[in-house]
Structure 1
Amino acid sequence: MIRRTQIKRVLCVAEKNDAAKCIAEIMSDGRARRREGLSVYN
């Protein structure tokens, strides 16, 4: 039985919101998902 593992790729973009969304959209070929994170600096 061949077991295939799926590799998760994560890109963290520390930039203005619009720029980060555009960069993620372009690099992911439209498959990007967004998740709010908890920042200790804000």
Structure 2
Amino acid sequence: MENHKPYDKQIGYSHDFEVEYRILTQSEGGRKTLPYQGIRWDFW
């Protein structure tokens, strides 16, 4: 994706933490469409 800039390039310093996640399939009660590059997730 041409418009996507990694966090460290956009802000100028590295991230504070890393997140590992799994996207649930529709049959598991998750997304009906595939996620796309640059999507911003809300983590609590």
TM-score (structure 2 length as normaliser)? 0.25
Higher relative contact order (CA 8 A, sep 6+): 2
Considering fraction of residues, name the structure with more helix: 1
TM-score (structure 1 length as normaliser)? 0.25
